[in-house]
Structure 1
Amino acid sequence: MSDVLKTERDGDVVTLTITRDHRMNALTSTLVVELREAMVAAVQQGARAIVLTGEGRAFSSGADLQGDGKDALSPDLSEEIEKSYNPLARAIADLPVPFVVAVNGPAVGAGMGFALSGDIVIAERSAYFLLAFANIGLVPDAGATWMVARSVGRARALELALLGEKIPAEDAKAIGLIARVVDDGTSLAEAQALAKRLAAGPSKALGMIRKQVAHAMDHQFTETLAEEARNQREAGFSDDFAEAVTAFREKRKPAFKGR
């Protein structure tokens, strides 16, 4: 039983909750590694959607600058990034199922980077986002540079990163950083309901869609057309597509299995 991460399963949905409320869910090497391992295990055990949230007051306040023992930060911060942060970022990008994030409070620094990695990000009204790196003499990590720049463009990304100012949830939605804003105390329930909906859908195709969108953000139009064709070929041979066609002919709702 982990003392930094709680894993719960409800049907085909796995919810991962960071449980370091006493430190505003600050990220340690142990936590980040366990988070990656839990995601991999969830997929291996058949989860068709994953939800990530934080316990208590915050989603995550970013890297724990006061960690000790095995979680003490190395003087060479690139070691921490290569050992734990980047493997988690890559694992999230490689997920074959939808990934929903419930931002229940502040998402700061690397916590913001990982929050924005959700396919659909739901934040509570009192939550905020903060690229705090410049405020302590560092640069964005945990994929935050890519996430923010791709979401809001160069000018706004530089403003957010250089000034290190809070972005209220409503403003984050308005500029395209996140998808939805909900009342305080409801983000997890909203995220889980959405994840259940996604898990009941053609989750194989949905997993391909999340990667196809990421591919499109890094490639030209003609390359994207080729990627669409490759993915459509695979989707076209899936059991879910066959079921959808049969259900259409039989005038009933399809029962997708994620295969």
Structure 2
Amino acid sequence: MSEDRAAEFVEVDGVATVRLNRPGLTRRAKEELLEAVTRAAESTTARAVLFLGSDRAFCLGQDLAEHARILEETPGQALTTVREHYNRIVLALESVQVPVVVGIGGACVGAGLGFALAGDVRVAAGRAKFGTAFTGIGLASDSGLAYRLVRSLGQARAMELMLLGTVFGAERALELGLVTEVVADEDWEARAREVAAGLASGPTAAFVAAKREVRSAADAQSDLPELLEEEADLQNQLGVTADHVGAVSSFLNKQKPTFTGQ
């Protein structure tokens, strides 16, 4: 991918890849990232989405040099970017129905952590660093970070990370459940691509349904009878798919199933 664009999109073999080429988010970077994530979300052929940064960083959040200039020139406009860009990027990520794999090669803080937690599977390099960062510059969080942390860690742990702003490493992120896997520094992108390719060759309709079930279960307003009904509806739909019928046949014949996503 070219470094000419701050954020890019490409789709190959059922994997839609979004790459953020610069760690700090300028206005241009946010606009290009929103465009790339929207294209991934709207793809009718992607069976997995891969969201990558660079070796240096996944994302550091707002470019503070640009932010300082805007604060000086038009202070009232400095934080309109939250509604104009950050909220829209997070909602676009949330709208992706297929599995989203996030590859984290370096620092992942602030809005970057919010973006990463919007994915479904996160592969991190051993050198990766994580943090909430917002209170360190006198702000509360955005990009859905509090929402994700509370649902991932509970209120007490989320409060700790938000208020203290401690920077922590990949192994601690793994212990907390904020990343799925930690690999050698040189392997993070290859491993993330491998995971995305594996998901793209899997039972796509089942993955979409599983994401829906997990999100419903995480909703504090949901109750068990409602979730059981949703499960029954989804199983009825999946039961007539070619992937399910073929997988059952393969199991009975002691063969490895081949999934087409149908």
The aligned amino acid for 1:163 is: L
| Number of equivalent positions | 253
Do the aligned partners of 1:26 and 1:62 also contact (CA within 8 Å) in 2?
yes
Q: Distance in 1 between matches of 2:143 and 2:91?
A: 10
1:62 alignment partner in structure 2:
61
Cα separation, partners in 2 of 1:78 and 1:236, compared to 1, 3 Å: farther
TM-score (norm 1): 0.89
Do the aligned partners of 2:114 and 2:145 also contact (CA within 8 Å) in 1?
yes
Q: State the Cα distance separating 1:27 from its structure 2 match.
A: 1.8
Q: Distance in 1 between matches of 2:9 and 2:164?
A: 36
Do structure 1's residue 90 and structure 2's residue 75 form an aligned pair? Answer: no
Unaligned runs of 5+ in 1: none
Q: State the Cα distance separating 1:198 from its structure 2 match.
A: 0.6
Do the aligned partners of 2:122 and 2:181 also contact (CA within 8 Å) in 1?
yes
Unaligned runs of 5+ in 2: none
Q: Could you list the per-position Cα deviations for residues 60-99 of structure 1 after superposition, in whole angstroms to 9, with x for gaps in the alignment? A: 111112227xx95773555322222122212212212110
Do the aligned partners of 1:27 and 1:111 also contact (CA within 8 Å) in 2?
no
1:49 alignment partner in structure 2:
48
TM-score (norm 2): 0.88
Do the aligned partners of 2:8 and 2:36 also contact (CA within 8 Å) in 1?
no
1:170 alignment partner in structure 2:
171
2:26 to 18, 25, 28: 28
The aligned amino acid for 1:48 is: R
Q: Distance in 1 between matches of 2:13 and 2:137?
A: 42
2:8 alignment partner in structure 1:
6
Do structure 1's residue 204 and structure 2's residue 205 form an aligned pair? Answer: yes
Query: Structure 1 residues 97-106 or 213-222, which shifts more?
Result: 213-222
Q: Could you list the per-position Cα deviations for residues 203-227 of structure 1 after superposition, in whole angstroms to 9, with x for gaps in the alignment? A: 1211221222111111232222222
Do the aligned partners of 1:124 and 1:181 also contact (CA within 8 Å) in 2?
yes
Q: State the Cα distance separating 1:117 from its structure 2 match.
A: 1.4
Q: Tell me how large the CA RMSD over aligned residues is.
A: 2.2
Query: Structure 1 residues 213-222 or 151-160, which shifts more?
Result: 213-222
Cα separation, partners in 2 of 1:223 and 1:28, compared to 1, 3 Å: farther
% identical aligned pairs: 38
Q: Distance in 1 between matches of 2:118 and 2:241?
A: 27
2:37 to 20, 36, 39: 39
Cα separation, partners in 2 of 1:8 and 1:81, compared to 1, 3 Å: same
- What secondary structure is seen at the aligned counterpart in 1 of 2:35? helix
The aligned amino acid for 1:55 is: S
Do the aligned partners of 1:101 and 1:191 also contact (CA within 8 Å) in 2?
yes
Q: State the Cα distance separating 1:232 from its structure 2 match.
A: 1.7
